[in-house]
Amino acid sequence: MRQTNYIFVTGGVVSSLGKGIISASIGKLLQARGFKVTIQKFDPYINIDPGTLNPYEHGECYVTEDGMETDLDLGHYERFTGIRTTRHNSITTGRIYKTVIDRERRGDYLGKTIQVVPHITDEIKRRMLREDEPGEDLDFVITEVGGTIGDIESAPFMEAIRQLRWQLGRNAVCVHLTYVPYLKAADELKTKPTQHSVKELQSMGIQPDILVLRTERHLDDSMRAKVASFCNVDLECVVQSEDMPSIYEVPVNMQHQGLDAAILRKIGIPVGDSPAMRSWHEFLDKQRKATREVHIGLVGKYDLQDAYKSIRESLNLAGIYNDVKTRLHFVNSEEVTRENVADRLSGMAGIIICPGFGQRGIEGKIIAAEYTRTHDIPTFGICLGMQMMVIEFARNVLGYHDANSSEMDAQTPHNVIDMMEEQKSITQMGGTMRLGAYECILKEGSRVAEAYNEHTPSATPQAPRSVRERHRHRYEFNNRYQAEYEAAGMHCVGVNPTANLVEIVEIPTLRWYIGTQFHPEYSSTVLHPHPLFMSFLRACLNANVSC
């Protein structure tokens, strides 16, 4: 059994400093040095998981292979490191309390008074140490704590970190991220907020080992020296994180500043050779060289960068591997009408019809799907997007003008998208969905089979290809209509072998018109962009047409 080391990443001054990217970068660098790593996120809110949160609150909901709905930072962890996270990598205050309260109800505490310290903090510690995953044999567990220090709700997490540092000695390292504002009028960078943030941390009994200063301007050595001496941190442990043209430059920038080496020295591990980052550098080179642009429309209802984070990143990555810069344009589906659709989509080489829940904006998605189908513009429908392609086809090709999903119209006689029988009895919000990775058998000779084969060559090309993709939905393609769809030209080309559920539809006579019930965006990574995004992007480039 190897010695596991623990890195705690906290943030001060303001939120949204990029703790997720720094945690993912540390993970990447340590992994590239040959260490076995995982990264986990602790969020101080009371929701059991972010599954029921509106994307305006915390951005997209990311889904792990084992079906946990999590914070979007797990997407960064997976994209940077390629590791597969699980339900043990995303914890909220709500889950911690629920575990403790359930235990209390079972009588496990034998009549004791249950308190934040020690019961809640013990449960946090247990999860920070990943005691539910005893066989993992990791070199490093990186724990990112959401929110900012000084918040009432993050106090128990800080107390848990304080205790763990004491308990683990050199095998624990605290990395603290702060913001260094630049005051334009004075033409000065201000380190005072950093000093205050560190003081706050110290008042909770935590001395940070390493400071990462987020700054828009370069900090010279004298500023770093000032921070080091005020905050009791070695000069080499004051690292700056300047704004980068791309988040994928951050690991390399952190390596140049010696962040990974500083962590190793703190723990007492020989620093050794530099991390093996060859493929990462090749990727960055491609990114820098890509100048030609491709314009893709995201037809959805959330005008917010983070709402479709994994889709955006998957498209960016696929663009880079196709030597182009992907320019994404949000198209508000609530505003799309028959009259303005040509205008709203004009100049797009392809469109994504985004996932989503509920009625709002769906008619615009259906109109967009009709427009791109009839104009042969590459189109990728994801989850609700796929369902809208299916509904559009029923209305305009099969002639069922009232076709709908029973999510939107429970009474429709033509419920081409419907709820599975097993789901019908479950009414409680959260936990009623098909979540996580399920198998899908690809139809031989289909466009999707071709796309998967081209971008991830199969060991046995003659066998029907099976893939595993992640889901997050309640409704499904209604198999009663399958024969009609097939006959009219929309083919069901991916099917779940156990439940016989349709996972992928395509219209093979068009350039690229594919809808997936699953979310391929969750498994696209920097070094392994998803085959379907690669294939979609290539089709957009080759089509040489635009709306």
Query: Which residues are known catalytic residues?
Result: 383, 519, 521
Tell me the pairing of strands 350-353 and 293-300: parallel
Provide the minimum distance between the beta carbon of 475 and ligand GLN in the complex, in angstroms, as a whole number. 3
Provide the minimum distance between the beta carbon of 546 and ligand GLN in the complex, in angstroms, as a whole number. 26
Q: Which is nearer to ligand GLN, 211 or 311 (CB)?
A: 311
Distance CA 396, CA 388 (A): 12
Q: Which is nearer to ligand GLN, 224 or 365 (CB)?
A: 365
Provide the minimum distance between the beta carbon of 382 and ligand GLN in the complex, in angstroms, as a whole number. 7
Helix (H, G, I), strand (E, B) or coil at 127: helix
* Structure tokens belonging to residue 495: 């099917």
Distance CA 270, CA 220 (A): 28
Provide the minimum distance between the beta carbon of 73 and ligand GLN in the complex, in angstroms, as a whole number. 19
Site of tokens 């709402």: 307
Q: Which is nearer to ligand GLN, 260 or 407 (CB)?
A: 407
Distance CA 142, CA 20 (A): 11
Positive/negative CA dihedral, 42, 44, 50, 55 = negative
Provide the minimum distance between the beta carbon of 426 and ligand GLN in the complex, in angstroms, as a whole number. 13
State which amino acid sits at residue 336.
Answer: V
Query: Taking Cα atoms as reference points, which of 174, 154, 155 lies closest to residue 164?
Result: 174
Q: Which is nearer to ligand GLN, 452 or 475 (CB)?
A: 475
Binding site for ligand GLN (CB under 6 A): 355-357, 383-384, 407, 472-475
DSSP H helical ranges for 290-360: 309-321, 341-344
Provide the minimum distance between the beta carbon of 458 and ligand GLN in the complex, in angstroms, as a whole number. 28
Q: How many residues does the chain have?
A: 547
| Count of Cβ atoms closer than 10 Å to residue 162 Cβ | 18
Is residue 213 within 8 Å of residue 200, measured between CB atoms? no
* Structure tokens belonging to residue 67: 């079906």
Q: Which is nearer to ligand GLN, 143 or 387 (CB)?
A: 387
| Count of Cβ atoms closer than 10 Å to residue 131 Cβ | 10
Query: Taking Cα atoms as reference points, which of 304, 332, 305 lies closest to residue 316?
Result: 305
Q: Which is nearer to ligand GLN, 253 or 423 (CB)?
A: 423
Q: Which is nearer to ligand GLN, 435 or 526 (CB)?
A: 435
Q: What angle do CA 70, 520, 281 make, to 5 degrees?
A: 90
Is residue 227 within 8 Å of residue 236, measured between CB atoms? no
Provide the minimum distance between the beta carbon of 196 and ligand GLN in the complex, in angstroms, as a whole number. 42
Element (H, E) at 506: strand 502-506
What φ, ψ does residue 20 adopt, rounded to 5°?
-60, -40
